[in-house]
Amino acid sequence: MTALSAPPPPKIRLFVDAPLAAGAAPALSAEQSHYLLHVMRAQPGSEVALFNGRDGEWRAVLVEAGKRVARLAVSTLLRPQRPEPDLWLVFAPVKRARIDIIAEKATELGVSALVPVLTRHTAAGRVNEQRLRSIAVEAAEQSQRLTVPEVFGYRPLDAVLADWPKERRLILLDETGGGQSVAEAFSGGAAEPAALLVGPEGGFAKSELDAIGGLAFASSIGLGPRILRADTAVIAALACFQALCGDWRSHPPSRN
């Protein structure tokens, strides 16, 4: 059977804040305009896919390529909005290069929020939330996500735990090898809302582990016999969660 197929979705994807609907003319930032016009060398008539985390993904066409500003016109809906799994990543900041990896990979792996926390053994005095957000936007564009993970403000772990929404399961990645195996812990399938918690390179302090151990919504998992770096542990645990409890039984948009 032969069917008339829709034109392929545009290769360039951009996240915008503005509402999206047929006929809309969302503004691009100066950086996005530069990227579109001078890096990707888009011309009037070039197509772009736009998403804003609320209104789905839309096809848009470049109608004016000024020196500094690109103007787009939104035409048709490519994909309706759908949520990512409700999965937070709570993490102690590590060295710059590895925190970039964590933000990029966690976005590709579908987290809904990045929650940086200060722990006893955390080395990083501050967190550049704007940078985390930029990395998350780029990874969302590249990975075909329809949302960008929220980036929470940097707060002490004990403050975050004191405010914790009790219905959200907190899963500690225990690098000392305690906790259930991943296969056991995630065998039950869907378990949202959830959060994975990973400590700094030096691990959690004993007092922190004791405090977490006493929380009714918390449990811990071990990630096998080898010691993983914090960024590896994050990616590994997120992948296992999505494969067993999340949305990995579905396919990329090109298959749907």
Residue type, 82: R
CA dist 256 and 240 (Å) reads: 23
DSSP string, 63-87: EEE-SS-EEEEEEEEEE---PPP-E
Tokens of 110: 């579908």
**Residues 193 and 167: beta-carbon distance below 8 Å:** yes
Which residue, 156 or 224, has its beta carbon nearer to its own copies?
224
Tell me how far, at minimum, the Cβ of 68 lies from its own copies, in Å: 30
Kindly provide the residue ranges of all beta strands, DSSP E only, lying in the chain, ordered along the sequence: 13-15, 47-51, 57-65, 70-79, 87-91, 113-118, 150-151, 155-156, 169-173, 180-181, 194-198, 218-222
Which residue, 137 or 182, has its beta carbon nearer to its own copies?
182
Tell me how far, at minimum, the Cβ of 165 lies from its own copies, in Å: 25
Binding footprint of its own copies on the chain (CB under 8 A)? 101, 104-105, 108-110, 142-145, 175-178, 181-183, 186, 222-229, 232, 235-240, 242-244, 246-255
Chain mean position to CA 189: 21
The DSSP code for 232 is H
Which residue, 97 or 162, has its beta carbon nearer to its own copies?
97
Tell me how far, at minimum, the Cβ of 51 lies from its own copies, in Å: 13
Tell me how far, at minimum, the Cβ of 82 lies from its own copies, in Å: 9
Tell me how far, at minimum, the Cβ of 232 lies from its own copies, in Å: 5
Which residue, 116 or 149, has its beta carbon nearer to its own copies?
149
Residues 6+ apart with CB under 8 A from 152: 113, 114, 115, 116
Task: Give CA separation, 97 vs 54, 135, 195, 211, in Å.
Answer: 31, 12, 23, 30
Which residue, 122 or 242, has its beta carbon nearer to its own copies?
242
Tell me how far, at minimum, the Cβ of 148 lies from its own copies, in Å: 12
Residue type, 57: E
Which residue, 58 or 186, has its beta carbon nearer to its own copies?
186
Tell me how far, at minimum, the Cβ of 22 lies from its own copies, in Å: 25
Which residue, 175 or 208, has its beta carbon nearer to its own copies?
175
CA dist 256 and 247 (Å) reads: 14
